[in-house]
Structure 1
Amino acid sequence: MFKAPYPPYDPTDTSGYETVVKRWPIILTNIIDHVHRLLHDMTLEAQQAHNSDASKVEELSKKVTEGQEIISEISRLKYRMARDHELEEIPQDGDILVAEYNADLESLKQTSQNTWFKAPWLYAEYRLIRTYFNQKTYWRGFDPFSTPKEEMFKSSGTAIYQIATTMHELESEKAKLQGEPDKLEVLFKEMIQMCLWLDLSLLTHLSQSDIEHLQTVGKEAQEARTEFILKDDQAAVWSYIKTLANQGKRLDFVLDNVQLFTDFVFADFLVTYTPYFSQVVFHPKLFPWFVSDVTPTDFAKTISSLLSTTFFPQHSTTSPDSVAHLQQMVTRWQNYIDRGIFTLATDISNGQKMTEFWNGPWPYWNMNELAPELGQWLSGSGLVIFKGDLKLAGDVKWPVSTPFSTAIGPLAGSFPLLSLRTNKADVAVGIDEKVAEDLDNRDEKWRVSGK
């Protein structure tokens, strides 16, 4: 397997310490609070059903007891994390990658990296929390991040209606657009920047006004964002995409954090309004690898929520036309799903097994050794878009000017690859040293702020 020529980042440095001491405990506290609220609701429901449905009361009582046990387990984990205790083995919970995680943990023990402040970032994440839920009868497979995802989705209604109207306005231009690559390029850049910036994994850092600013769609916002883009290959990727015209190529989307809505919009644009792609395969995580990752359940819920006329709170600025435009657009997406034009990777042959790879504690450059079927699948793609994953370059202290193609190791040249990433971890490559030095002087947290 490929081994990077540089060490990983030290988890005890400034930004790593910030993650372990501040960000992770906040996330764990939010999970505890979320389960507490659910238990409160279940208790009320049991009281209301007390005299009418004994079996329901018994089931709710058992679920509440299990939920209380989960809260205790997460609280214990939070305590151990804050005190740099050793990471614990993953119990056999009937889910994926238990042996793989435990084998890596054994390797970390050999180098004394098996504590919360020393373990590599790619390892020390939420596989253990998955176990806490999986070992319970009534909580197995529960996504503790599902409610925050849904709440953020609901709060985005205004922007979603606006984007739906924008897509509707393209309908009248569709025939002309396919013959005018220059106009398509302008729209492509609009779509790609929308897809880049709507990454909601930094909910503990962004205010609502920050998020609303990032949801703005238009030339002015696009120009304002340009200064924040440190490595811009939009022209290069568009030049490549134009070579795919009328070949029926497949686009693969490796999903990361919600919002999935923007990924759907980008995919819709490329399939509906350009002659470059005829199918899109979306690759989810089987369970959240880091907070708000898109899962197969999220994929289905996104469509059903968008088709519901009551999902988004109605505002005075919401016009009936925009509501209709959203229904038309998402109905088209549902039609694409029904016809196999939009496909979830877990629904293709061997897709469930291939999808397991994304949840592993390893850099993606080990794909061909650890998931050869996945590597083979992606090698047949017209373009593979990765949403925001530091796992492409690994948790490695690369010199900032290291070419991206070097940092992704054996993946370079394996398939056409586009990475859309906002920096939320120290890893940064493909950036001029003088630019990085200037950023260090202006904002020491530029590598991790997501801006």
Structure 2
Amino acid sequence: MPYYRCPAERYGFDIEGTFARDTIITRWPVILKDTAQTVREAVEAHSDPTAQEQGRHIIEKIETLTKEIAQDGEVRNIVEDGGSNIALYNAQIKEFRERGQASWFNLPWLWAECYLYRHLRTFFAVQSEWKTFDPYFTSKSSSFRSSSEAVIKLAQATLNLSTTPETLQQFFHTNLQLSLWGNASDLSLLAGGVTDEELRKLQSRGEEEKKFILRNDEEKVWDWVKSGMGGKRRADFVLDNGEFELFTDMIFADFLLTQTPFFDEIVFHPKSIPWFCSDVLPFDFRWIIATLHTPEKFFPASVLDPSSTAALVTLAERWQAHVDAGRFKLAVPLESNLGDAGPDFWTNGNEYQRMEHLDPALVQGLREKSGLVIFKGDLNYRKLTADAMWKSTTPFEKVLGPLNGRFPILSLRTNKAEVIVGLDDGVEERMDKEDPKWRYNGKWAVVSFAPLV
């Protein structure tokens, strides 16, 4: 099939006052500094001289990268590190060089941000003692611990939930919105720190009115699900953040399995490398279940009592039973770890309009087996829309290009970047006056659905 060429201009770093510009000037330096500090603390805690030396080398590489970005240096080829997408990234770097666009400030924002995390991964992957080190796990787990009260309440509510035919649609919408607003605690967006109270406020957005959802296709999704989804009984979650968001995704998935008659299998698609500070790795999926199973080892004693402890353990046992029975699955082997070789479409820098060109087997598998493919979070939305400067009223289905209709697509996205489509006339103008940062501050959202054709 022809290689997709987006008809709209991509977001880049060249316009002052944009969130893209702020990302490369302000946010990336903070993220890189925090990453280096995490490695520094790990080096100080390490007793092995080889690991210490390698760790110091990683820190030097991160500091050099930070300077190269600030000085608008040329991006480097990714060296062979045993991971995926190397040839694809390097071929695209060659194209940028041929066009004279291979320096950091001249790259498309979406591609550059993906390349940044893939390039960072090499620093760790080529060091024997750091191949399996996730520099973001500590922050992910700390954020989850800060969400302890919400986790306990949701666990208890999930175990006590009992639907009827009359309430099924209502609870479907409730769980969908829970998964939507769980994305509000993106650690890359919160680079530089956030208080526990601020985190709780972000995560409670789903309790507020639907006015914060600027495009809401919930009814279309429900109509598709209750119609039987073309005879398929599987849902796929293309995951975004770990910690609290992954927990809410698993709550939604559990609801689909246990409370509706429509689903009997959920497949979760994680990343293969540390990605955008907080994305789900296979270990994070296993860790969530293990942590709930032994809550006294992780959650603050102040939030635990016999009832809450029992709820967390019971939910962990239920989810482990889903895993054992094949109702919960990862799209990769369950025991996959960092450093394990294998393809990973989700960590290349391309928009999803090129999915069938780059990974036809992935598209075919989703088309044949999945009744609903749920893309979580802002980055997945940016890739679905090619991170381009569409008019805000452009239909969601139109910007999907050749991916439209190949399989049923549900995007649950809290707004953390400037691209936005599918809005009614006048919404953009109203929001520009009401909240000038509405496109990227995580307070607003869209629920966008494109059916199977």
Quick one: which of 364, 371, 394 aligns to 1:382? 371
- The whole-number CA distance in structure 1 between the counterparts of 2:202 and 2:218 is 19
Matched with 1:74 is 62
Larger relative contact order (C-alpha < 8 A, sep ≥ 6)? 2
- The whole-number CA distance in structure 2 between the counterparts of 1:169 and 1:251 is 23
Matched with 2:159 is 168
Spell out the pairing of 1:220-299 with structure 2 (5 A cutoff).
222=206, 224-244=208-228, 249-258=233-242, 259-299=245-285
Structure 2 runs not aligned, ≥5 long: 335-339, 444-453
Provide the secondary structure at the position in 1 that maps to 2:296: coil
Displacement of 1:355 in angstroms is: 5.6
The amino acid that maps onto 1:379 is R
Matching of residue 194 in structure 1 with residue 178 in structure 2: yes
- TM-score normalised by the chain length of structure 1: 0.89
- The whole-number CA distance in structure 2 between the counterparts of 1:246 and 1:268 is 21
Task: Please tell me whether the aligned partners of residues 345 and 355 of structure 1 are also in contact (alpha carbons under 8 angstroms).
Answer: no
Task: Please tell me whether the aligned partners of residues 393 and 421 of structure 2 are also in contact (alpha carbons under 8 angstroms).
Answer: yes
Provide the secondary structure at the position in 1 that maps to 2:214: coil
Displacement of 1:317 in angstroms is: 4.5
Task: Please tell me whether the aligned partners of residues 84 and 342 of structure 2 are also in contact (alpha carbons under 8 angstroms).
Answer: no
Matched with 1:424 is 416
Quick one: which of 16, 19, 24 aligns to 2:28? 24
Q: Identity over aligned residues, as a percent?
A: 39
Task: Please tell me whether the aligned partners of residues 229 and 372 of structure 2 are also in contact (alpha carbons under 8 angstroms).
Answer: no
- The whole-number CA distance in structure 1 between the counterparts of 2:343 and 2:418 is 26
- The whole-number CA distance in structure 1 between the counterparts of 2:311 and 2:318 is 11
Matched with 1:153 is 144
Matched with 1:57 is none
Q: Deviations over 1:171-208 (max 9, x none)?
A: xx3xxx2x51x411211121111111112222227543
- The whole-number CA distance in structure 2 between the counterparts of 1:422 and 1:376 is 28
Q: Compute the RMSD of aligned alpha carbons.
A: 1.9
Task: Please tell me whether the aligned partners of residues 154 and 313 of structure 1 are also in contact (alpha carbons under 8 angstroms).
Answer: yes
Displacement of 1:3 in angstroms is: 1.6
Matched with 1:442 is 434
Displacement of 1:10 in angstroms is: 2.8
- The whole-number CA distance in structure 2 between the counterparts of 1:169 and 1:223 is 19
Q: Deviations over 1:149-169 (max 9, x none)?
A: 111111111111100110121
Matching of residue 364 in structure 1 with residue 355 in structure 2: no
Equivalenced residues, count: 421
Structure 1 residues 36, 354: closer, same or farther in 2, change over 3 A? closer
Matched with 2:300 is 314
The amino acid that maps onto 2:422 is G
Matching of residue 334 in structure 1 with residue 308 in structure 2: no
Provide the secondary structure at the position in 2 that maps to 1:40: helix
- The whole-number CA distance in structure 2 between the counterparts of 1:122 and 1:303 is 32
Task: Please tell me whether the aligned partners of residues 246 and 275 of structure 1 are also in contact (alpha carbons under 8 angstroms).
Answer: no
Quick one: which of 112, 127, 144 aligns to 2:135? 144
Q: Deviations over 1:322-344 (max 9, x none)?
A: 21111111101101101111110
Provide the secondary structure at the position in 2 that maps to 1:420: strand
- The whole-number CA distance in structure 2 between the counterparts of 1:395 and 1:314 is 40
Displacement of 1:273 in angstroms is: 0.9
The amino acid that maps onto 2:43 is L
- TM-score normalised by the chain length of structure 2: 0.89
Q: Deviations over 1:264-298 (max 9, x none)?
A: 10000000111010000101111133221111121
Provide the secondary structure at the position in 2 that maps to 1:346: coil
Structure 1 residues 311, 154: closer, same or farther in 2, change over 3 A? farther
Task: Please tell me whether the aligned partners of residues 418 and 439 of structure 2 are also in contact (alpha carbons under 8 angstroms).
Answer: yes
Q: Deviations over 1:95-152 (max 9, x none)?
A: 1111110101111112222112121122213111111111111111422111111111
- The whole-number CA distance in structure 2 between the counterparts of 1:225 and 1:121 is 32
- The whole-number CA distance in structure 1 between the counterparts of 2:5 and 2:229 is 37
- The whole-number CA distance in structure 2 between the counterparts of 1:225 and 1:285 is 32
- The whole-number CA distance in structure 1 between the counterparts of 2:198 and 2:55 is 34
- The whole-number CA distance in structure 1 between the counterparts of 2:406 and 2:342 is 16
Q: Deviations over 1:352-407 (max 9, x none)?
A: 99961111110111111110110011102110000011111112111111100011
- The whole-number CA distance in structure 1 between the counterparts of 2:168 and 2:5 is 40
Matching of residue 115 in structure 1 with residue 117 in structure 2: no
The amino acid that maps onto 2:78 is I
Tell me which structure has the larger Cα radius of gyration.
1
Task: Please tell me whether the aligned partners of residues 270 and 277 of structure 1 are also in contact (alpha carbons under 8 angstroms).
Answer: yes
Provide the secondary structure at the position in 2 that maps to 1:6: coil
- The whole-number CA distance in structure 2 between the counterparts of 1:383 and 1:70 is 41
